[in-house]
Structure 1
Amino acid sequence: MFLLILVVAVVVVVLVVRATAAAGSELRQQRPASRPRPTQVTRPVAPDDDPEFLRELGRRVRRDDSPA
């Protein structure tokens, strides 16, 4: 009797797993394709990546090195 209940329980679990997998694949097919993310403008990460910072630094160095 115990063996019969065990076999029935295993069959029920297998059927539930298959039904869930089938429903999941149907839902994936019905979903619209996601839009690609818009490309973001890359900003400088560090000061030495920023061209404006480097220009200002060059100006400061030239100003400090000029003969008085």
Structure 2
Amino acid sequence: MNDINRPAKPPAPPSAADRQPPDGERCIDSQHLMSPDGQCWICHDGQRYQLRITAANKLILTK
């Protein structure tokens, strides 16, 4: 098989160092925010947002 027909290699996932916040930045573990049902509510500038964990273990923020 030549390179033209070969599927592109997916990018490598970020390393643990890439996921760390810059020095001096605050980082809060999501488990400290979430209720047992995997969601929390955030109020910002008079608006209410829902942060929830999906079935694929991703975070979604919705208004």
TM-score, normalised to structure 1's length?
Answer: 0.23
Greater Rg by CA? 1
TM-score, normalised to structure 2's length?
Answer: 0.24
Please state which structure has a larger fraction of its residues in helix.
1
Greater RCO (CA < 8 Å, at least 6 residues apart): 2
